[in-house]
Structure 1
């Protein structure tokens, strides 16, 4: 493609290395992208509360698509622009169906306020085991499901995420958006038609940029809609096989500065 008008990148497994750090090389190249006046957007499964540290390391102050497309967050203004949440009624119906599809699963809900850290945004029921090292509050299932949530996290340590996704899709169909960013027994459920592509499309509309002029990087199935939507989709060498199928190009791994290697063609 010609020099991209916007650069979009996933976070975990893509622009972050194995130890959750951004390399000096990648920081330098992203700095050149921004100095050129080209917007750089993080597009992640992470909620807003986990975004400022990475954005600040990169020098990125614009939009970030969070929670797999359920939230648009402005980094520089520390402002949640919009959220597409699941209502308590639909959360209850959703979990009732998942109990049938994935017996023994445990759930957690992610919420947002007006800013990244306005409220205690992550709440899990007893028995929920986090897929990553992290601390979280626990409550009854009724409390977890009692408020609108930008996504429901569903955990089962005896299954892979792919197995869980297949089972959940069998009972939910297209009523909700189901995806995963790790294969360690965790799926993430959002409202219907919410994807990284829908969130990034809103950013592009705000900035007056066409999809064909965007380059995007990713590594997991939750990146598939985004890489399929943009003009040039780049998968990391460490990417999930399903993502490799839709990518226009495969770059080096996240530990080898794969994002930076591609962007250096233009910046």
Structure 2
């Protein structure tokens, strides 16, 4: 079944939530800043909040919106819903229980060659043994980090998410095996072809967005959400207007009501320009 394009701007729209990689951002992690700035002003004038919702670290997400270019997002849902920021104040900090974390790290440490970074409310933790290429990649998405000598040294820290990366991608067989080994301590979700996030059970972008809605007195029917990956599916399904990108995965498309142009065609900006036209 084909997914229709987004409708005209919903009259009850009060919040726009966007995933970043593969959705708001083009390939190469850029967006048209000059094009977005006036859109952001018009959204604020219309009383519509702007929220970014991502598996990435809060500091990385805020770095895309420097103060010199305009106001920060009204809300940030980071680490796949485990950390939530509203108007510059953290409303939620969630981390996996320490005994569960120890079990997860033991599983990961037993898989030779697996590359990962653990992230939480206090920053990220990266093994010194990772290759320079992987260090550069992982710290781009997690700019607040510290090195640890061994996997076991991550124990005792507050961890909300563990990002696994493999340039060749992850097979379903691997995900099934990993999920069985974790036994519910953390939940694997696909965040891109070459990456999988392990998240706190029950915490995802939709739950993080729900914290913001409660804080601002809004309801899901007043939300438009954009996404492209499996870790966006809950958010797309819960929003009143769930919008998948043309480059979205099957899981995101199945959860969405509408489809926008691809991220490399600035699909989010195209939709927003239709909803918030210049006078």
Q: TM-score, normalised by structure 1?
A: 0.85
Q: Deviations over 1:216-261 (max 9, x none)?
A: 0011111011001111111111112221122111111112121122
Deviation of residue 158 (structure 1)?
A: 5.7
Question: Does residue 115 of structure 2 align to residue 125 of structure 1?
Answer: no
Map Cα deviations across residues 8-40 of structure 1 (whole Å, 9 max, x no partner).
111111111223222132333233212212111
Distance 1:90 1:109, change over 3 A: same
Tell me the equivalent position of 1:110.
Answer: 119
The answer for the alignment partner of 1:18 in structure 2 is: 27
> What do the CA deviations read for 1:79-136 (whole angstroms, capped 9, x no partner)?
4332110133211112334556x554244211323xxxxxxx2212244453863546
Structure 1 residue 44, shift from structure 2 partner: 0.9
Root mean square deviation, CA, Å: 2.5
Residue 262 (structure 1) aligned with residue 271 (structure 2): yes
**1:1-267 aligned within 5 A:** 2-3=10-11, 4-23=13-32, 24-56=34-66, 57=69, 59-74=71-86, 76-77=87-88, 79-98=89-108, 102=111, 104-113=113-122, 121-128=123-130, 130=134, 133-135=137-139, 137-156=147-166, 159-160=169-170, 162-184=172-194, 186-267=195-276
Q: Structure 2: where are the runs of 5+ without partners?
A: 1-6, 140-144
Distance 1:171 1:143, change over 3 A: closer
Are the aligned partners of 1:161 and 1:180 in contact in 2 as well (CA < 8 Å)? no
Question: 1:116 corresponds to which residue?
Answer: none
| Shift of residue 156, structure 1, vs aligned partner | 4.7
Going from structure 1 to structure 2, the CA distance change for 1:51 and 1:155 (only over 3 Å counts) comes to closer
For residues 120-157 of structure 1, the C-alpha deviation after alignment (integer angstroms, 9 at most, x for no partner) is: x2212244453863546342112123312121223455
Aligned partners of 1:58 and 1:244: how far apart in 2?
A: 32
CA contact (8 A) 2:16 2:224 kept: yes
